[in-house]
Chains A and B, each alone.
Chain A
Amino acid sequence: MERKIKLQREADPDWARRVSERPGCEGLFSCLQCGACSGTCPLSIYMDFAPRRIIALVREGFRTEALASKTIWLCTSCYSCAVHCPRQIHITDVMYSLKREAIQAKLYPARFPIPVLAQEFYRMVRERGRNSEFWLVLRMALRSNPFVLFGMLRTGWDLMRTGRLSLRRDHIPDVKKLQVGLLPREVA
């Protein structure tokens, strides 16, 4: 049988310290664990660890648990936690920071559509300088679960008949310049 509880010695406090040095994450260790963030978060009822617990995991140094969680991807960056936090911790920016590290470390939950959407969005912007909603959704669906496209037919038709579905693959005039001058380094 597998042990369900993690021991403190398995944590990496040095990682926690490094996280707290990233832009936007400075307030990490001033958290009171009051739970205002989890209370105001519209998605906390769907999360594996509500925001308060994510902050607790991170500052104790439980890296894998925090990075592999669905929580960080369910965060829609509505910043409700950040405006309610009595210690003014930028919780949304902590979430962003964890997302980026989860992508780097390939620790995001497999076939979970949200990181797939983020990656496809990232690639489309790098390829074309702009993103086109229709093509973005199509690419996300093909990489995560193509069957969801059937569920989108009705809404797709509604958008089409009201002139809101653009099939145009938009791009900026000089994509090369953007790729060479501004975005040379690809991270994912």
Chain B
Amino acid sequence: MPPSYGYFPGCTLRGTGVAYEESMLALFETLGLPVQEVHDWNCCGATSYMSIDEGSAFLLSARNLAQAHQEGHQELLAPCAACYLVLRKTQDYMQRYPRIRQEIHEALGNGHVGALASVRVRHPLETLYVDVGVDKIRSRRVREWRGGKVACYYGCQLVRPFAEADRDHNPMRMDELLRAVGVPTVEYSLKTKCCGGALTGTIHDVGVNLNRILIREAARTGAQAIATVCPLCQYNLDAYQWEIRKQNGDLDMPILYFTQILGWALGADVRSLGFQRSISGRKTIQQWFSHAEKEVYA
């Protein structure tokens, strides 16, 4: 296990995804894993910057890697799936295309191209699964799950090319981690189907419809909540249920971060996990997470 993880928040964890940051930091603290934010990080570029200018999109990303490396981080946590993918894609392209490597080399000046490739970009899901492990998570469990079944939704970018967070067609790591703390998870066939990303803000109807399909399918399999690993998925599934309800009646499903559920089960302070920031399913959240007493399991 490394001495400390560098942490790349990205724009969303300081805005709509603030509960993700809160719960991830609380969970890592509970597990005794130090996390240090990279100073002076810049936007990862996401999908939009890359759509306009490829060369400088890689430069932006490389600057973040350089910044992390300069601050002595060999491991860089990127909880947002888009940041995670862009950072890893940059490393991949840097290695495969000499021209891109050369451009980065010239722009960053100090010639740390090899060092940039050596920073390991990681997602908290992978870190918890690999570095901490399912058994240790199970043994650290202090609260008993009294809630219902959960659908684990991995979304798209975390499990696609360039990534090593989980398998691309049928990822199971979030399911395994949640089951280890007593949370029953369902077989969710749409677990890697895209939520539409920024589409809810651009071609709104299309974006909402993708989320309608995801939520209805989760409900059909018997899930009463969805667990996510990406701030954009959480936002899309959570913030537009009032529109989905216009056609699909009584739907009101909590959309949680996997770090909120794990943090709660492992005994983090309930108030530090950002549950009050959920828009949908607030009653269910109140029921499931209100008992704060701790018990110890063998």
Check A131/B43 contact, CB under 8 A, given A23-B100, A83-B161, A185-B56: yes
Give the residue name and chain of the B residue nearest to A120 (CB). B48
Q: Across the interface, do A155 and B210 meet the contact criterion of CB distance under 8 Å?
A: no
- B169 lies within 8 A of chain A by Cβ: yes
Q: Which residues of B contact A158 (CB under 8 A)?
A: 239, 242, 279
| Bound CA span A121–B107, Å | 22
B52 touches A118 (CB 8 A): yes
Q: Which residue of B lies closest to A129 (CB)?
A: B42
Interface residues on B, range: 35 or more
The answer, yes or no, to whether A137 is at the interface (CB within 8 Å) is: yes
Inter-chain CA distance A27–B75, complex, in Å, is 32
Tell me whether chain B's interface is mostly helix, strand or loop, or mixed: helix
- State A132–B14 Cα separation when bound (angstroms): 9
Give the shortest distance, in Å, between A112 (CB) and chain B (any CB).
8
Interface residues in B186-225 (C-beta closer than 8 Å to A): 192-194, 196-199, 201-204, 206, 210
Q: Is the CB of B194 within 8 A of A76?
A: yes
Q: Does A165 sit at the interface, judged by CB under 8 A? A: yes
Whether a CB of chain B sits under 8 angstroms from the CB of A114 is yes
Q: Is residue A162 within 8 Å, beta carbon to beta carbon, of the partner chain? A: yes
A155 and B51 contact, CB distance less than 8 A: no
Q: Which of B15, B49, B156, B240 contacts A155 (CB 8 A)?
A: B240
Q: Which of B11, B45, B97 has the most CB of A within 10 A?
A: B11
With A125-B49, A159-B239 as known contacts, state yes or no: A130 contacts B157, CB within 8 Å.
no
Q: Is the interface of A mostly helix, strand, loop or mixed?
A: helix
Minimum C-beta distance from B214 to chain A (A): 10
Known: A122-B49, A158-B279. A132 touches B11 (CB 8 A): yes
Interchain CB contact under 8 A, B49 and A117: no
Which B residues touch A172, using CB under 8 A? Answer: 40-42
Q: Does B54 contact A (CB under 8 A)?
A: yes
Given that A43-B206, A80-B194 are contacting pairs, would A137 and B201 also be in contact in the complex, using a CB cutoff of 8 Å? yes
Partner of A78, one of B12, B56, B97, B156: B156
List, in ascending order, chain A residues with CB within 8 A of B279's CB. 158-159, 162
Q: What string of 1s and 0s marks CB contacts (under 8 Å) between A92-129 and chain B?
A: 00001101100100000000011101110110010001
A154 interface contact, C-beta 8 A? yes
Q: How far in angstroms is the closest Cβ of chain A from B284?
A: 16
Give Cα distance in the complex from A77 to B198, angstroms: 11
Q: Count chain B CB atoms within 10 A of each CB in A79, A132, A170 and give the residue with the most.
A: A79
Residues of B within 8 A of A (CB): 11-12, 14-19, 40-43, 45-56, 59-60, 63, 85, 93, 96-97, 99-100, 107-109, 156-157, 160-161, 168-169, 192-194, 196-199, 201-204, 206, 210, 239-240, 242, 276-279
- Closest 9 interchain pairs by CB? A78-B156, A78-B194, A79-B160, A121-B48, A113-B202, A99-B51, A118-B48, A122-B52, A129-B42
Please list 5 pairs of residues, one from A and one from B, whose beta carbons are closer than 8 Å in the complex, sorted by A's number.
Answer: A114-B198, A114-B203, A118-B48, A118-B51, A172-B42
